[in-house]
Structure 1
Amino acid sequence: MALEERQYRFEGERFLRQILAKNVNNKKLSLIVEFPVGKIEDMIQRMIQIYEPAILVVGTRGRSMDGFKGLLLPGSVSKYCLQHSPVPVIVVRGIQKLAKRKAKRDADPARRAYREMLYQAQLPAMKLYPQGSTGKQLAPTIPAFLRPDHYGSRSATPSRPSTPAGH
């Protein structure tokens, strides 16, 4: 087995252990962990053809998402997916990037003054939250078993993932 193949296998098994560690109620899981090797655009199209997902979720590298500028950069995988995917695409950013951008907005005196002015006006047709849209008032309640801090350092022994019939 080549060194590169061993590295991919190690990464795949590590990812599978992380997923299994989150299964605290020992529910039956059907997982396929696949690390396709090749040009990312070709691999995404191939995986869509094989698994026929209802939706494709892709992340960003943290480039600016103001007006989707980050999606217009050459080489952007999320841009490629939005333009070429036969299924709907959701582009997500990491929580750290969102928190950093929110902190920057909150530190902007002009934005803060405007938000405070609107909040104090208490217009009847408008409901404003002093902490913005990411405050706990609007945030969904995430079950404890889905929160990363809930798991501690438990590890799981990976089991062989089941594969769909005919594959």
Structure 2
Amino acid sequence: MKRVIGLFVALCALCGPAHAWWVVKASWWVDEGVNSREYEGKGTSQDIALQKARAACLSGRSNTTVGLCQNAPLRISFAEIKDPPGGAYLKSCKDCAITDGDVIVCSACPPKRERRELDLKQCQSRAIIENCGGDLHCSACPKPPPKKGPPKGECQYSAAAGKDVCTAPK
């Protein structure tokens, strides 16, 4: 039995992480060789991450500048990122991963469309990560304050007024 467990542990060590993610930051010229801009892409391999960064560069380009993004990048850097911890936020937030600094980074968490981050160092261990209105939280979303409505009293239909008439509560 010990042999089987030892073999299993050795095989798992060779397999590496179950889901490695890569982030690439690559810069291309954005006009005729005057200014450059950095684009980011994430993927399960360096090639896929670079393809996504290139696609970001290509989006919104005119026909005269689209070729600039198809060239080799001016600068490029890759970093391996860990899988994010589980939680309900994974169903609504997009492209979430953990950086080397133990920060969850998502490209968007509806209803907010911009990048969202949460430093896991501020969370307790085994925290449940939630998307609370577009912001990432270490625990369940805070409950909104109760809505204040009109005071409730007694209401009766008034034929003279043609509607319900209410009295203030006592």
* TM score, norm. by length of structure 2: 0.20
Higher strand share goes to which structure?
2
Which structure has more relative contact order (CA 8 Å, sep 6+)? It is 1
Structure with bigger gyration radius: 2
* TM score, norm. by length of structure 1: 0.20
